[in-house]
Structure 1
Amino acid sequence: MKITQIRNATIQIENNGVKFLVDPYLAEMGRYPGFPNTMNSNIRNPRVELPFSLEEILDVDAVILTHIHTDHFDEIAYNVIPKNKKIFVQNINNKNFVKELGFKNIEILTEEGIFFNNIKLIKTPAQHGSREKVESTYKSLQVEYDSCGIILESNHEKKLYIAGDTIWCEEVEKTLEKFNPEIIILNAGDAQLLDGTSIIMGKKDVKKVCLACPNSVIIASHMETVNHSTLSREDLNNFAKAEKINNLLIPNDGQSYSFS
């Protein structure tokens, strides 16, 4: 298995010879205004450029959308991904949204699991911030709250858990207990609303995952790209050293890891 951190939550995964693109956020630096009602909303997004060409990024067999917030699936992605490309989505609302953009080969992920080229994809639950704290803000911004994670299982490959946009919560804890994934990708930039409420994992959440799965490799993604990300790679690395966490990888954009 090969995992490449592209930018933000956008990653490429090569599993048993099948290549997936997760959460394509493909705009050039500074194309969009900062997200309203979030930290540092004066900063334009994305904050950095892509590390690869669009041609390299789009050289995949399928696309996985954990949800359709614009820092996971943006207007550049709408236009450059081929309309017949296989796209996996979390629910019927997301399917309808993607279908209206002209995409023709869309499938909804399920908790029972579906297969693509002999790889099993299993939908897992997530909390994109504590629901009671953030759902009203999401509604005011006219974006949906729901997000998901995904388990990838296949013969001769390690079990992979992409947690998606979530905080540490009971659903994540149960997913770890149920599947015991060997590789875990966390969105760990501690994106925050204006009142300081975290809507993805921060360093304390990352520590909980690392302690819950001491024999797993944890990879930190979704960092240093959008205005409301408040945790830097350097700060997370310093925290991990201070806490003696030794199963955490913090890739730079463009960096890859291979697992056998």
Structure 2
Amino acid sequence: MYMKTLAGTLALALSVTTGAALAQTKASAGRQPINEKVQLQQIRNATVKITYADTTFLIDPMLARKGAYPGFDGTYRSTLRNPLVELPMSEKEVIAGADAVIITHTHLDHWDDAAQQFLPKGIPLFVQNQADASLIRSQGFTNVRVLSDKAKFGGVTLSKTGGQHGTDEMFASAEVAKALGPAMGVVFEAPGHKTLYLVGDTIWRDDVDQALAQYDPQIIVINAGYAVMDGYEGSIIMGKEDVLRASQAAPDASIVATHMDAINHMFQTRKELREYVQEKNIQDRVEIPEDGAIVEF
């Protein structure tokens, strides 16, 4: 990312001494030097591929063709059919090279019939709980693992984080709470790599603050489409104000915003978010990749 203003350049210069001191403090605390690349490819919606410590994880695969499913009942623009756009590549290209799959929850826009059809039945899949594991095993998958706390895979430590997939008002309704259900986030760690925090489908909760404090991530991936339900204020996932909040809560982290422009109930677009981060002067720290685009850290 590049500094685009004189103020930004001066701020960078002034931060050199502070940054060096911070690096020395972390090194003295035993933190490994960071010298390995982390790669993220935006596929579509919340589907991304994360290559971390020579291991590629496919996240929340929704692989259906444009318009394959009805819109979600009781949500914004429910008359539209999902997904709203095509994949930027073939299903086989999406899956190619994936060593494992992480399914943060089993809503259709994170785990759909097409993903079940195209993925190999023996591929390792990480899920949030036994209920999701039982469902996915019933769909024919044979290597399903519950990420109850931490797990090791391919030299990567995966840690489960919490959240809430909607507001307190929404979860006060038993019917709505059941429909929304739980969803997890995941932290990726490996020696020599920036720590990556995949926040998942949640609003900003204490769980998010706790994850930021515990793991000190240098990369934060936010589902930022601000998905809206009829009859309720607020959203079931994060939006632009949460992107700003993340930039303030983790001032040294890079942020990747995803989960936009592909599902009927997404209220916030990439265009709106780009305008907002420019207005807040955080554009040098926020990546908003188009479908198919790759970013590296």
**What TM-score, normalized to structure 2?**
0.84
2:170 touches 2:176 (CA, 8 Å); kept in 1?
no
The Cα of 1:140 is off from its aligned counterpart by: 5.2
1:85-124 matched pairs, under 5 angstroms = 85-111=123-149, 113-124=150-161
Q: 2:224 aligns with which of 175, 188, 196?
A: 188
| Residue 103 of structure 2 is aligned to residue 65 of structure 1 | yes
CA contact (8 A) 1:138 1:144 kept: no
**What's the Cα RMSD here?**
1.4
Equivalent position to 2:191, from 131, 152, 155: 155
Structure with the higher fraction of residues in helix conformation: 2
TM-score (norm 1): 0.95
Q: Is the 1:8–1:224 Cα contact (8 Å) retained in structure 2? A: yes
- Which SS does the other structure have where 2:43 is aligned? strand
Provide the rounded CA distance (Å) in 2 between the counterparts of 1:40 and 1:197: 16
2:238 match:
201
Task: Note the alpha carbon deviations across 1:203-256, whole angstroms, 9 max, x for none.
Answer: 111111111011100000000000000101111111111111231111111110
Q: Structure 2 stretches of 5 or more lacking a match?
A: 1-37
Matching of residues 5-154 of structure 1 within 5 Å: 5-59=42-96, 60-111=98-149, 113-130=150-167, 132-135=168-171, 139=175, 143-154=179-190
Distance 1:159 1:217, change over 3 A: same
Give the length in aligned residue pairs: 257
Alignment pair present for 1:172 and 2:205: no
SS of residue matched to 2:40:
strand
Specify the alignment match of 1:234 in structure 2: 271
In the aligned structure 2, how far is the partner of 1:76 from the partner of 1:176? 34
Q: Is the 8 A contact 2:165 2:180 kept in 1?
A: no
Q: Secondary structure at the match of 2:179?
A: coil
Equivalent residue letter for 2:85: V
